[in-house]
Amino acid sequence: MTYLDHAATTPMLPVAVARYTEALGRVGNPSSLHTAGRRARKEVEEARETIAEAVGALPTEVVLATGGTEADNLALKGVFWARRAADPRRTGVVVSAVEHHAVLDAAEWLAEHEGATMHVLAVDAAGRVDPEELRALLAAHAGEIAVVSVMWANNEVGTVNDIRALADVAHSFDVPLHTDAVQAVGSLPVDFAASGADALSLTGHKLGGPVGVGALLLRRDASCVPLLHGGGQERDVRSGTLDVAGTVALAAAVRAAVDDAPRRTVELAALRDDLVARLVGEVPDATLNGVPLDAAPVGGGPARLPGNAHLSFPGCEGDSLLMLLDAHEIECSTGSACTAGVARPSHVLLAMGVDEAAARGSLRFSLGHSSTAADVDAAVAAIGPVVERARGALARS
Amino acid sequence: MRVLAAMSGGVDSAVAAARARDAGHDVVGVHLALSAKPATMREGARGCCSVEDSHDARRCADVLGLPFYVWDMAARFSADVVEPFVAEYAAGRTPNPCLRCNEKIKFSAVLDRALALGFDAVVTGHYARLTDGVLRRAADAGKDQSYVLGVLTAEQLAHAVFPLGDSHKSEVRAEAARRGLVVAEKPDSHDICFIPSGDTRGFLDERLEQAPGELVDAASGAVLGRHTGVAGFTVGQRHGLGLDRPAPDGRPRYVLGIEPVSRQVRVGPAEELDVRSVAAGRPVWHAPWGTVDDVVVQVRAHGGLAPARVTVSEGSLTAELHEPLRGVAPGQAVVVYDDDRVLGSATITATA
């Protein structure tokens, strides 16, 4: 089996599995006052410190949550509510057109149910937000915006935004900035303090940790209204019994992924560049979406996620390609999956100006820590006949 | 063979897929997403296009160990089934969307794509027998669906597999339970899948600019009442005419004809519904052109059977009925049977 869908979820790192399974055997609620509770609390706090240290945050800034979706919702809604409460004129929410649905749909919900005004930032043909675009929008709506959310790196096409520059612009209008960094942490150099972001979402299962645990990094001075009410375990911003095993495993995975990133980034980028070059060699009219592979660095790191290869295959339906590749035991993605499993043209590609037919004929291959040259060879060997057959299917329908 | 099983999320298509696999075929399950905005949950017994149905199909494929995908056929379904359905009603005819779906979607768009992707056939949970390219009625007379498959050409039938033709529904449900398929007790879908509310009239009203017109007595021409639009009336319809006065003889009145241009709906007594001759177009015919006698025609999905003499030429079919039939609506199919064998099908254009 050739697994080229690491952006959807990546295998747990052995160190994370080991810490996870060890911890599962121990009892203890970190909020309990007895010995077992204190031991559990110690484990959680050590894990929190590890995570904080690895991503340039203070331990108190790590708000543990169930993953990217919860962290994104908490940031959007919680910061919106807090900012509006402090200044009722601030009812605007700014998001980029290529955000994950956890951000887009949260912003839409605020518009539909909380009287928010949603502003969508356009992106360029590579899927990147121009800080000057944000400046113009904030200048036109000075004093009206509660929160800005722009993703660190796009999950579909891998394009990296200059979060530092965007945060500087937002702050010059006294507006906090949230960034969805679930694809970035462990793949790109992420330093929360240096980024200037006020809030940052990360999740375990995209970097070698378990599913169901993640965090919102939230600046000490950022105010945020909770989504979940209860015991107030996490800074009174998030309630729910802490997941000791998940948190310990998350910390192990974050630590390992971040430590290994300088080496792995180079290795993955080389594999990815080889994959793209050879796929285009097999299918000469295939085109790479997102930034070029040799683009200048952004924010001191790669301009594109090192494991991301996103291509359009003219004359094909993405779901035909996916099914045929699956039959060849090659697992990739047509973009973001949808509730009914129905492939719709990606909102990310449409926002980049890709036409609907090309958007439907796209595949995302995403490499990760377990990827090898043999995976690249398998995909390259399969793609030619698969594209030919998929073209026949579209031509006949 | 490599076969593609169209899995609606219902019990029939799940068992059909299972039988195809047991027969030694290499089976891949596909759920057809026919609505661009599917409802999350199925409403009652109706429809097969919700996310819940898609989920049921996936669970059946999981239990059977079949690869499973969802194909987005919403645009084709809208263009080839829903829009013609609305247009046919607007023209005063009574379409059969299930038949059109078989003709244009399952055994055209889906089959073509399947063949191009390397499959040999499409398997469905229809109740009909198919051997050596000959389509016949199902063993379960109550579930027989040969009527809505009569429109398929020899080429389409050559790539179709109907594993349920020899079975009764009760056997299929028992088999589903034995196989551990969660849909074993799922209610049958009925009515029209894209109108889960069952309110065809309301569905048409939302999509057409309906204009009011007159209900007239077919014999005297007297205006008996008014209606809010012709689309939705069906020849033979008795209820929902909105006539508050009974006929002078106290007997019920039925729709006899629909005139979309003048927007007149002609009504009259039951015996005026009697039809002795049916003209139809676009025939699909599996026997030599010419005349066959002592065959049986069926003019709607349930019931509507009469012995007849049928003449077929390229482009038209006429049936002279040996016994009259009532409620024969233009737009419906006339399917011709020799005993249980389907000889062909055509779309009814006129009756006399």
pLDDT per position as a tens digit, A266-320:
999 999 999 999 999 999 999 999 999 999 999 889 999 999 999 999 999 998 9
Query: Which of helix, strand or coil describes residue A324?
Result: helix
Interface check B69 vs A, CB under 8 A: yes
Q: Which amino acid does the sequence have at A132?
A: E
Residue bearing tokens 């790196």: A153
- Chain A positions contacting chain B at CB under 8 Å are 319-320, 322-324, 326-327, 339-344, 389-390, 392-393, 395-397
**pLDDT at position B241:** 84
**Residue ranges covered by each domain of chain B:** 2-185, 209-272, 274-351
Chain A residues whose CB is inside 8 A of the B116 CB are: 389, 392-393, 395-397
- A161 and A63 inside one domain: yes
- A76 and A175 inside one domain: yes
Q: Say if residues A307 and A156 touch (Cβ distance below 8 Å).
A: no
Residue A332 catalytic?
Answer: no
- A225 and A315 inside one domain: no
Kindly report the average pLDDT of chain A as a whole number: 95
For helices A373-396 and A244-282, angle between their N-to-C axes, nearest 10 degrees: 60
Q: Which candidate, A5, A12, A1, places its Cα nearest to that of A204?
A: A12
Chain B residues whose CB is inside 8 A of the A334 CB are: none
Chain B residues whose CB is inside 8 A of the A323 CB are: 28, 67, 69, 117
Q: Say if residue A90's pLDDT is above 70.
A: yes
Contact criterion met (CB < 8 Å) for A396 and B113: yes
- A266 and A223 inside one domain: no
Q: Which amino acid does the sequence have at B221?
A: G
**pLDDT at position B242:** 79
Could you tell me which chain B residue has the CA closest to the CA of A360? Answer: B72
Query: Looking at CA atoms only, how far is residue A339 from chain B in angstroms?
Result: 7
Q: What are phi and psi of A393, to 5 degrees?
A: -65, -40
- Paired tokens of B158: 């050559």
Interface check B31 vs A, CB under 8 A: yes
Interface check B37 vs A, CB under 8 A: no
Q: Which candidate in A224, A316, A332, A338 is catalytic?
A: A338
Q: Say if residue A373's pLDDT is above 50.
A: yes
Q: Say if residue A337's pLDDT is above 80.
A: no
- A79 and A221 inside one domain: yes
User: CA torsion sign, A337 to A339 to A344 to A348?
Assistant: negative
Average pLDDT over residues A354-370: 94
Picking from A328, A334, A342, A391 by the largest number of B CB atoms within 10 A of its own CB, the best residue to mutate is A342
A93 pLDDT band, cuts 50/70/90, is very high
**Side-chain half-sphere exposure of B274, counting CA atoms within 13 A:** 8
- CATH number 3.90.1150.10 given to B209-272: no
Which residues in chain B come in under a pLDDT of 70?
37-49, 244, 246
Chain A residues whose CB is inside 8 A of the B71 CB are: 319
Query: Looking at CA atoms only, how far is residue B321 from chain A in angstroms?
Result: 40
Outline where DSSP puts E strands in chain B: 2-6, 26-33, 68-72, 121-123, 129-131, 134-136, 160-161, 213-217, 223-227, 254-259, 264-268, 275-285, 290-298, 305-313, 316-325, 333-338, 341-351
- A244 and A369 inside one domain: no
Q: How far is CA A317 from the centre of its chain?
A: 25
Which alpha helices (DSSP H) does chain B contain, by range? 11-22, 51-64, 74-77, 83-90, 97-100, 110-116, 154-157, 169-178, 200-207
Query: Residue A304 has what DSSP assignment?
Result: B
Picking from B32, B37, B72 by the largest number of A CB atoms within 10 A of its own CB, the best residue to mutate is B72
pLDDT per position as a tens digit, B161-204:
999 999 999 999 999 999 999 898 888 877 788 888 888 989 99
- Class of B274-351 in CATH: mainly beta
In CATH, what is the architecture of B2-185? 3-Layer(aba) Sandwich (3.40)
Q: What's the number of domains chain A is made of?
A: 2
Average pLDDT over residues A110-119: 98
Residue bearing tokens 């940031």: A75
User: In sequence order, what DSSP letters do the residues of A36-64 get, joined into one string?
Assistant: HHHHHHHHHHHHHHHHHHHHT--GGGEEE
What CA–CA distances, in Å, run from B269 to B13, B130, B245, B251, B255? 42, 41, 14, 7, 9
Domain boundary among A225, A254, A283: A254
Task: For residue A174, give its domain range.
Answer: 14-254
Could you tell me which chain B residue has the CA closest to the CA of A392? Answer: B116
Q: Say if residue A46's pLDDT is above 70.
A: yes
Could you tell me which chain B residue has the CA closest to the CA of A320? Answer: B117
Q: What is d(CA B166, CA B106) in angstroms, rounded to the nearest whole number?
A: 21
Interface check B261 vs A, CB under 8 A: no
Q: Which of A327, A342, A393 comes nearest B113 by C-beta?
A: A393
- A226 and A294 inside one domain: no
Q: What is d(CA B144, CA B340) in angstroms, rounded to the nearest whole number?
A: 11
Percent of chain A exceeding pLDDT 70 equals 97
pLDDT per position as a tens digit, A146-166:
999 999 999 999 999 999 999
Could you tell me which chain B residue has the CA closest to the CA of A326? Answer: B67
Query: Looking at CA atoms only, how far is residue B85 from chain A in angstroms?
Result: 21
- A44 and A107 inside one domain: yes
Q: What is the largest CA-CA distance in chain A?
A: 70
Picking from B41, B71, B104, B159 by the largest number of A CB atoms within 10 A of its own CB, the best residue to mutate is B71
Domain boundary among A199, A230, A254: A254
- A335 and A382 inside one domain: yes
**pLDDT at position A338:** 54
Q: Which amino acid does the sequence have at B201?
A: R
Residue A327: give its domain's CATH number: 3.90.1150.10
- A201 and A319 inside one domain: no
Q: Which candidate, A151, A38, A167, places its Cα nearest to that of A99?
A: A151
Strand partners, A92: A117, A145
Q: What is d(CA B229, CA B242) in angstroms, rounded to the nearest whole number?
A: 12
Query: Looking at CA atoms only, how far is residue B284 from chain A in angstroms?
Result: 22
Q: What is d(CA B256, CA B224) in angstroms, rounded to the nearest whole number?
A: 14
Contact criterion met (CB < 8 Å) for A396 and B28: no
Residue bearing tokens 């499409």: B122
Contact criterion met (CB < 8 Å) for A390 and B115: no
**pLDDT at position A1:** 92
Q: Which of A342, A343, A397 comes nearest B109 by C-beta?
A: A397
Domain boundary among A254, A286, A317: A254
- A303 and A347 inside one domain: yes
| Strand order across the beta sheet in which A117-121 lies | A62-65, A214-218, A199-203, A177-180, A145-149, A92-96, A117-121
Contact criterion met (CB < 8 Å) for B69 and A323: yes
**pLDDT at position B28:** 98
Q: Say if residues A225 and A110 touch (Cβ distance below 8 Å).
A: no
Q: Which of A324, A339, A340 comes nearest B117 by C-beta?
A: A324
